[in-house]
Structure formats: structure tokens, C-alpha cells
Amino acid sequence: MLKGSILQKLQTAHLQSTRPINFGVYYKNTLVALCHALEDHILETDGQPLVITAFQQGKWYLQEANRYADIAAKSREIAIMAAADAGFAEHSTSQLPNVNLVGLHTDDPVAQEWHLIILSSEYTAMVICQELSENDYGVGGLPGSDVERKFYGFWTFESELVRETAELAIAHIHTYNPELAQKLTHNIQAISPVHRSFLDLGKVVTRVVNYLQTGQENLAVSSNKGQQILDRNLVSNEIQAFLRMAQIMDIADINNPMAATEVVALSEIIGQLLDLPAWQIKRLRLAGLLHRIDPLQKAESVLSPQPKKYQEEAPSCPLTCPLVPGAQVLRTMPRLRAVAQIITHQSEWWNGTGEPAGLSGDEIPLESRILALLAEFQSQVNKIKSTGNSREEIFTQALEECRKQQATRFDPKLVDTLTLLIMGLQQGLDLPMMTPKISRSIWLLDSRWETNQKSQKSTVTN
């Protein structure tokens, strides 16, 4: 990481943070699709954001200059950093009153970075990356095609982190143009804290996934292996989009910010007690991380707005029901269709009175039954712990609330399994609480899911 770069300064600021930043490697084609998705959301909103970008070289800005004229019309101010090339300042977009160019020195470490920082009271998003040096590529040397160029960094919707990075970028701009830096600082101060609409965030996530998928088309890659690597990187970022949304939802829930993390920890132990195979526990873990994405129940796919019938997407389901749009969004990723089915049917009841399909008993996917029970148990624990009772009393009361719905809402055998787990917790068993490294989320997928889903029998054994 280059000393003096914005990425390096941000990393240094968070070395001792309670929420350290997890960095990952991104390919150029992934970043193009990601940035276009985040930028295009500006065009659909009236938030008038402050936008700060770094394009490395002026020639890359020139490729995007026409679309930035449209973005400028919806933004309060835009600052563009790049090493100046011929035509960098002459393009018509550069003449707009709210577009400001900062010509970077060629030896400026920021000239090796690719940034997009969007900050408004309704919408925040950020991509911050630094291109790998020739030495970083190792024995393989520089890539054979432009789309295979690699960048190190991360992206996020977290408003506090976006604002912090914007301030670092403005401080860097100050060394070139103090007057512009002062104007940008005034703009930040005028932006109130984010009042995020999770429905809007759901639309952004949907757009990110769709853009990443369409970005795979017509790529000129030097080898089949290179194509496989790019595909894997795109899939990883599609998963990141959903996980980042789920993360924002947990952060925003000040009364229960650990819901997803605790449900995942409980589900892994339940999976082990039921002797589930590793691939199924992994799938359950991903469903647990995503189980609270309620806003996506209203967000339709940007590219495929018309939902299909459930039977077409998941033939293993015994009944036909209309897709909840949130599950349809997850199904834009073929390898998340099984997870979408789990999340869709977590609201089914054991006695058949639940939604959306009125499934009953073993017709309900096993992971859906597990998720429903553990989400309720975790919620009850979170409510009761404010009473000041002991750990044992809290678990006992939460379990009793679940038992009241045994054989009506919840699978009786799963409630018995949860009882065994609670006995362990009361005797000192600790849950393995782990925050997922979102930038390395590809490991959550398993190529066997689709084949195993067909043969899986949704039953619980003793």
C-alpha cells in the first residue's frame, strides 16, 4: 500500500479500530460495473450528493466524461482527481460550474488509486482501491488484458466510513487547491446525517448485482483460466452486495445490532447437533447472514421486473406460490437460489398456517425451519436481557417462549434440539461469534449446493 495514499491513511486510522477494514482484490471489469451501478443510482434520486472521484489518469476520466455530465446535473458538487492528460481539462463536462478538476502530480500516490465517494443525506456509497504494482503480480507478471488489472481495496455503504474517507480526500485536495478543499468541506458540513431508506438501498443492491452480471458479457480475456478468475471475482462481489446491505441493516437496528451474527452462531451449532453435512451448514450460515433483508421484499429486479412462478425456479418445492420479490432478487444469482428458498419460507408454520405457500411439516425446507426458530429465540433473548436476569434465566425464558409455539409454528424436534443447545449454554458453552469478512465472502458458496438441493430430503432425524 503506497505511503501517503488515501487508502493507506484510512487503513492506518483503523488499525486499532473495533471495526477494522477488510480489504480484498478486485479486477478492473468488476470495478467498472460496480462504479456504474453506484453512480447510476444518483440519476434516480434527488439527494444532490457530493461526489469525489480519483481516475488515476485523465484518459480514464475522458471515457466517463459524458456520463459525468448527467451525474453533475443531479449532484451538488463533483471533484475529480487524476494525473492530467491531453484533453483532461478541455472536455465540456469539465466546464460545468459544479465540476472541479484536480490535476495530480505523476508521483502522487493517489494517481495510482481508483476512488468513487458518494455522500448525501439519503445515499452513501464508496469504492476505494489502489492498483497493484508490477511486483505485486509476482512471477506471472502484468496481466495480458486491461480487464484483468487488479486493484486492492474495498467498497461499502457505511455512511460514517464514507464521510471519513471524503474528509481524507478533501485534505489531499487541499495540497493542490485550498479554495476547492474549503468549498468541499462546506458541502460536507451541509449534509445532514444519513436517513437511509432501506427500500432505496435494496434497489442499489439489485442494480449492483445486475450490472456485475451483465459486465461479464463480451470480455476479452487472455485465457480460460483468466475468465474463471474474473467470473469468481464477480460472483464474490455479487454476494458482497447482499451481505453489505444486511450489515447496514444490523448496524441501523440499535436495539438488536447482533441479530444476524448471533443467529449464524446458533445455527452452526444446531447444524452440528443434527449432523448436517458441511455444505448444508455453510448454506445455512449464508441464509442466517441474509435472513433480515426485509426491504428486498419490495425491491424488484432492475433487468427482470416480472417475477416468475415459484415452481419454475424451485421445482423441488411441493407447492406453487408467487415469488416474494426479495427472493426474486436473490435468484438473480443462480448459486443463491437455494438460499432464496430458505429465506422465503422462514415465515412458514409447522401447522401449515404460515406464508407464503402454506407449507406444513417436513414440506418446509429444513434450513427454513431452523432459521425461523433461531431468529425467534435470538429475538427473545435480546428482549429479555434488558431485565437484568442471569444468563441462565434469560435462556430459560427465551426457550419457554419458543416452546409455547412448538408443533404450531415450530418443528417439535428442532425445539428439542434447541433445548439441548440451551442446556450446553447454561453450563458454560460459548457461541463462536465471528463477524464475516465480507470482502472474502466467496467461501460461503459451495458448488455442490445445486445438486445437493435436488436430492435433499427435508426431514429432521433424532
Which cell is 105 given?
502530480
Identify the pLDDT of residue 260: 86
**pLDDT value at residue 436:** 53
- Rounded to an integer, what distance in angstroms lies between the CA atom of residue 33 and that of residue 39? 10
Give the pLDDT of the chain (462 residues) as one tens digit per residue. 889 999 999 999 988 777 678 788 888 888 888 899 899 989 988 889 999 999 988 888 888 999 999 999 999 999 999 988 767 788 899 999 999 999 999 899 999 999 999 999 888 999 999 988 878 777 767 776 777 788 898 888 888 899 999 999 999 999 999 999 999 999 999 998 766 555 566 677 778 777 776 755 544 445 555 555 555 555 666 666 677 767 766 666 677 878 888 998 999 999 999 999 988 998 898 888 888 775 444 333 333 333 333 333 333 443 344 444 445 556 555 567 788 888 889 999 999 999 888 999 999 999 999 999 999 999 999 889 878 788 888 999 999 999 999 999 999 999 999 999 998 887 777 766 555 554 444 334 444 444 444 444 443 443
Q: Are 26 and 101 in contact (CB under 8 A)?
A: no
Residues 6+ apart with CB under 8 A from 181: 170, 171, 173, 174
Nearest-angstrom CA–CA distance, 306 and 319 = 20
Q: Please report, in angstroms and rounded to a whole number, the separation of the first and last CA atoms in the chain.
A: 53
**What is the model's pTM?**
0.69
Closest CA to 77 of 194, 189, 197: 189
Closest CA to 234 of 449, 448, 444, 27: 27
- Cα(438)–Cα(251) distance, integer angstroms: 15
Q: Determine the pLDDT at residue 274.
A: 94
Beta strands 77-83 and 50-57, pairing class: parallel
Residue 137, number of CB atoms within 10 A of its CB: 14
pLDDT in the model for residue 228: 59
Nearest to 333 by CA among 209, 201, 165: 209
Question: What is the pLDDT at residue 236?
Answer: 63
Domains of the chain listed by start with CATH number: 6-195 (3.30.870), 247-455 (1.10.3210.10)
Residue-level pLDDT at 356: 85
User: Which three cell numbers, joined as nine digits, stand for 343?
Assistant: 429465506
